[in-house]
Amino acid sequence: MSSNAELFDEARSVIPGGVDSPVRAYGSVGGVPRFIQRASGPWLWDAEGTRYLDLVCTWGPSLMGHAHPQVIAAVQDAASRGLSFGAPTATETELAEEVRSRVPLAQKIRFVSTGTEATMTAIRLIRGATGRDLIIKFAGNYHGHSDGLLAEAGSGVATAGMPGSAGVPAGVTASTLVLPYNDEAALEEAFAARGDQIAGVIVEASAANMGVVPPRPGFNAAIRRITAEHGALMIIDEVLTGFRCGPSGFWGFQQQNGERFEPDLFTFGKVVGGGMPLAALGGRAEVMDLLAPTGPVYQAGTLSGNPLATIAGLRTLQLATDDVYQRLDDRSDQWRQVLAEQLERAGVPFVINNASNLFSMFLGSTPARDGVADYRQAKTQNAEAYTAFFHAMLDAGVNLPPSCFEAWFLSDAHDDQALEVFSEALPGACRAAAK
Ligand code: PLP
């Protein structure tokens, strides 16, 4: 049996950094990434046979818990009939109808394979629809790694402390205006100055890639209002929050709580594929019909709408009933409370932010003590304290995101036993963070 360290060494000799997505390499927290052999419910087992309680949940998709028997059975059944056809299947339509039933504004839906593709296509679409080039994104929001969206991005880009990426032509990011998140006045100003050149705004439904930073009340609705006033479009990126922060995503959660607004386009990923490579964009029919083959905006994919991915997504959404979301909300309240109690007891200054059931913590005293509402504030957190906390949790058998700029995820499988493991690991980790 190879150890994690041996596997990491071997991987590094053939894969850059030993990983296929940067944050997995533990660059900011140090140490050896766990090489995972299998997963079930809320648990992961690494190559050494050690079990971990998982709060990464494959960065979001695992809503029902790892390897849910009904999802696995559906995928196995589909696999027995072929892995990919490069032709339409009825399951794609069924999944599109399921998505539309939850988010009626997604009148038409196109499936792609990654969130990056979904947002990249959505940007092309709003440019095609308006004939304008400029787009607006917000600092600390992450929308995948397409060239134009890698400006002041969150997630792995934030973890690595990079302003952007080498290899992206300056001309490409020059078409991306980056504004502070949660700053309605900055948005008004940008549109007042260049409104007739701006195709639209892309925003995470709730920011969750600089840690969880929910929109201030009225912020998302203000984006809608301002874009509409200037003939620009609004893309709400629900790749991370969609079908997780409620049956209709964080947008649905906001509607329920009285903040009503109608974006032109939605992007989905993660949960919509149930752990398989699947993502989507959806929106008003007249905008979506601008996509090829009905319209002039080109988009395609050999594996788009893959039969294994669409059935995994469909089965996952069918399992994700209102009861599941109620349980997730209740558990999230409970887990956040336990975390806060232990941090307080250890005397660690902290803020815990949440966007419905999604949460993360920011350690450190200033200015996070007054809340974290944007990327500038998120960056003031004490990353070293997080590193100490992370490793103490890992040693106690709890797998957290190896970065203080990521959300923590629960699933329907995170039961009382899982909470017990979490609670028992916390005191030591909080003491480590206090040092
Ligand atoms: N948009 C958001 C909000 C995300 O959180 C992510 C990934 O974390 C993406 C887009 C990109 O998705 P993918 O990693 O599937 O390309």
Q: Which ligand 1 atom minimizes the distance to the CA of 60?
A: 8
Structure confidence at residue 414 (pLDDT): 98
- Please say whether the beta carbons of 50 and 398 come within 8 A: no
Number of H helices, E strands in the chain: 15, 13
* pLDDT in the model for residue 160: 73
Does the pLDDT at position 162 exceed 80?
A: no
Q: Which atom of ligand 1 is nearest to the CA of 240?
A: 5
What distance, in Å, lies between the first and last C-alpha atoms of the chain? 36
Q: What pLDDT is stored for residue 196 in this prediction?
A: 97
110 CA → ligand 1 middle, Å: 16
- What tokens were used for 220? 């998302």
Domain 1-55 CATH (choose: 3.30.499.10, 3.40.30.10, 3.40.640.10, 3.90.1150.10): 3.90.1150.10
Angstrom distance (rounded) from CA 330 to CA 415: 11
The contacts of residue 238 (CB under 8 Å, 6+ apart) are: 205, 249, 250, 251, 266, 267, 268
Give the mean pLDDT of 16-35.
Answer: 97
> Which of helix, strand or coil describes residue 221?
helix
As a whole number of angstroms, the distance between CA 173 and CA 213 comes to: 24
Render 169-209 in DSSP notation, one character per residue: -HHHHTTEEEE-TT-HHHHHHHHHHHGGGEEEEEEESSB-S
Rounded distance from Cα 193 to ligand 1 centre (Å): 30
β-pairing, 279-283 with 265-268?
antiparallel
Atom 10 in ligand 1: which residue has the minimum CA distance? 143
Q: Residue holding tokens 């995503």?
A: 249
Residue 190 Cα distances to 139, 174, 180, 199, angstroms = 14, 14, 11, 12
Ligand 1 site residues, Cβ closer than 6 angstroms: 59, 114-116, 119, 142-144, 155, 204, 209, 237, 239-240, 269, 279
- Give tens-digit pLDDT for 369-413: 678 999 999 999 999 999 999 999 999 999 999 999 999 999 999
State in Å: Cα 115 to ligand 1 middle.
Answer: 5
Q: Any catalytic annotation for residue 237?
A: yes
Q: In sequence order, what are the residues at sequence separation of 6 or more whose Cβ sits closer than 8 angstroms to the Cβ of residue 323?
A: none
Domain ranges of the chain: 1-55, 69-319
> Is the pLDDT confidence value at 163 over 70?
no
pLDDT, one tens digit per residue, over 97-139 is 999 999 999 999 999 999 999 999 999 999 999 999 999 999 9
DSSP-assigned letters across all residues of 201-215: EEEESSB-SSS-BPP
**Known active-site residue 142:** yes
33/391 Cα distance (integer angstroms): 11
* Mean pLDDT calculated for residue range 156-169: 78
Region 196-207: what's the mean pLDDT? 98
Q: How much is the pLDDT for 133?
A: 97
pLDDT tens column, 79-98: 999 999 999 999 999 999 99
CATH number of 69-319: 3.40.640.10
Asked if domains 1-55 and 69-319 share a fold, the reply is: no
